[in-house]
């Protein structure tokens, strides 16, 4: 069977796929339909946090599958309660709402922001400030939050109530707070799809201060940066701020769909029964897997993430064909002198999978990628960058 042809005929063509059909994997090694092996430096876009077919995660998922696959939210289930408890204990947040994707986690954050505005200042205070060049998801409202015009084309009108500030320019955000009736600020700390750039620490502190002074909810989109990716459990912890809402998804599920919206002390009472919901949210199989993932992102692993990050920065910064290296932890963007797509293609031919973010080469390896595989992949990438 020609799977590529069947896909082309029957799957909606919303994705420009690489010419690669993956059929299996083990840790940071993936296998295509011809049996060729690849070192995986992308993890399904920061999703397979512990690589492919991770034994412990698989066991947690299978154990839950043998008990009960779904309950609905009309009833209690053990894994979702235990995951919410672990998330709160590790982050200082107070309550968690579970959904199935990053976009949905962000929709819930936006609802929290609007509810807060109504409660504190009045119904007309519904505007959320996000950043230019941000990415918050593909639903109409999270697209509206996304500060990149290209994503808005064809789908207007956008949801009302979003304005976009220039990143790392606190005066621009102050201007928007004055000009609009705002309820919240919603930002990524490392813009992922926008080109893997970390916000300045001082700027983030100023945003926190402004949010407090103006009584706006401080909401952080950690869909990509969360769950150990940046070298802290959540990136906000490394930035030393106390957000009111934190969203996450991607890596939390270890490969199964999950979204989580964590609510801090200012936001924990915003949702009463009936104000939000999700049929699959908190699904016991997904949350059992996520609990296993979260428990294993400990200080040792985070230290390893930071060491591997330092190795990549040191190896590629100033290397031949490299203009710049950006990002945080194991979320890294490389600006190359040559066209990024051609380097990505030649890496793939040599058995290394890397992806793109804007004009950069993006690296998102498993948090536990073995050193040897990491070094092999980076050496091949370095050679291709230099050609």
Ligand X SMILES: *Cc1c(COP(=O)(O)O)cnc(C)c1O
Q: Using CB under 6 A, list all residues that contact ligand X.
A: 101-103, 106, 135-137, 188, 192-193, 221, 223-224, 249-250
Which helix (H) or strand (E) is 22 found in, with range? strand 22-26
Q: What does the block give as tokens for 27?
A: 């840790």
Cβ pair 128, 184 in contact under 8 A: yes
Q: By C-beta, is 150 or 272 nearer to ligand X?
A: 150
Q: By C-beta, is 28 or 225 nearer to ligand X?
A: 225
Other C-beta atoms lying within 10 Å of the C-beta of residue 134:
21
Q: By C-beta, is 253 or 264 nearer to ligand X?
A: 253
Q: By C-beta, is 134 or 373 nearer to ligand X?
A: 134
Compute the least distance from the CB of residue 154 to ligand X, in Å. 19
Q: By C-beta, is 262 or 385 nearer to ligand X?
A: 262
Compute the least distance from the CB of residue 329 to ligand X, in Å. 14
Q: Measure the CA angle with vertex 45, ends 43 and 46; round to 5°.
A: 65
- In angstroms, rounded to a whole number, what is the distance separating the alpha carbons of residues 210 and 177? 9
Distance set, CA 29 to CA 20, 57, 293, 354, 371 (Å): 14, 17, 19, 13, 13
Compute the least distance from the CB of residue 188 to ligand X, in Å. 5
Compute the least distance from the CB of residue 221 to ligand X, in Å. 5
- In angstroms, rounded to a whole number, what is the distance separating the alpha carbons of residues 127 and 301? 39
Residue 91's SS3 state is: helix
Q: By C-beta, is 249 or 385 nearer to ligand X?
A: 249
Residue 371's SS3 state is: helix
Edge-to-edge strand order for the sheet containing 360-363?
322-328, 331-336, 360-363, 355-357
User: Which residue is at the shortest CB distance from ligand X?
Assistant: 102
- In angstroms, rounded to a whole number, what is the distance separating the alpha carbons of residues 129 and 175? 11
Residue 263's SS3 state is: strand
Q: By C-beta, is 221 or 244 nearer to ligand X?
A: 221
Compute the least distance from the CB of residue 233 to ligand X, in Å. 17
Compute the least distance from the CB of residue 120 to ligand X, in Å. 26
Residue 327, C-beta contacts closer than 8 angstroms, at least 6 positions apart: 190, 196, 197, 198, 333, 363
Length of the chain in terms of residues written:
387
Compute the least distance from the CB of residue 334 to ligand X, in Å. 18
Q: By C-beta, is 189 or 334 nearer to ligand X?
A: 189
Compute the least distance from the CB of residue 101 to ligand X, in Å. 4
Which helix (H) or strand (E) is 74 found in, with range? none
Q: What does the block give as tokens for 296?
A: 């294993």
């Amino acid at each position: 069977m020609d799977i590529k042809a069947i896909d082309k005929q029957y799957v909606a063509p919303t994705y420009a796929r690489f010419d690669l059909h993956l059929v299996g994997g083990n840790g940071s090694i993936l296998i295509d339909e011809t049996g060729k092996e690849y070192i995986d430096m992308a993890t399904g876009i920061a999703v397979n946090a512990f690589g492919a077919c991770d034994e412990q995660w698989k066991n947690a998922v299978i154990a839950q599958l043998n008990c009960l696959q779904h309950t609905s939210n009309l009833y209690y289930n053990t894994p979702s309660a235990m995951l919410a408890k672990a998330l709160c204990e590790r982050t200082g947040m107070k309550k968690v709402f579970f959904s199935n994707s990053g976009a949905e986690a962000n929709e819930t954050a936006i609802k929290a922001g609007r509810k807060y505005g109504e409660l504190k200042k009045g119904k007309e205070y519904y505007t959320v400030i996000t950043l230019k060049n941000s990415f918050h998801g593909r639903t109409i409202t999270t697209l509206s939050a996304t500060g990149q015009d290209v994503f808005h084309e064809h789908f207007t009108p956008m949801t009302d109530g979003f304005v976009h500030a220039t990143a790392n320019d606190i005066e621009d955000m102050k201007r928007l707070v004055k000009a609009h009736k705002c309820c919240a600020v919603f930002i990524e700390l490392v813009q992922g799809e926008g080109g893997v750039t970390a916000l300045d620490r001082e700027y983030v502190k100023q945003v926190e201060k402004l949010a407090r002074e103006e009584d706006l909810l401080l909401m952080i989109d950690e869909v990509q940066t969360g769950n150990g990716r940046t070298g802290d459990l959540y990136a906000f912890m490394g930035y030393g701020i106390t957000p009111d809402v934190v969203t996450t998804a991607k890596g939390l599920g270890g490969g199964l769909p999950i979204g989580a919206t964590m609510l801090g002390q200012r936001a924990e009472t915003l949702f009463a029964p009936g104000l939000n919901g999700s049929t699959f949210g908190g699904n016991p199989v997904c949350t059992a897997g996520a609990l296993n993932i979260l428990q294993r992102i400990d200080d040792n692993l985070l230290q390893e993430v930071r060491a591997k990050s330092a190795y990549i920065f040191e190896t590629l910064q100033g290397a031949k064909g490299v203009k710049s290296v950006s990002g945080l932890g194991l979320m890294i963007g490389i600006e190359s002198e040559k066209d990024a797509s051609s380097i990505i293609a030649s890496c793939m031919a040599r058995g290394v999978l890397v992806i793109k973010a804007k004009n950069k080469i993006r690296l998102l390896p498993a948090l536990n990628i073995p050193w040897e595989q990491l070094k092999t992949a980076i050496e091949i990438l370095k050679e291709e960058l230099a050609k």
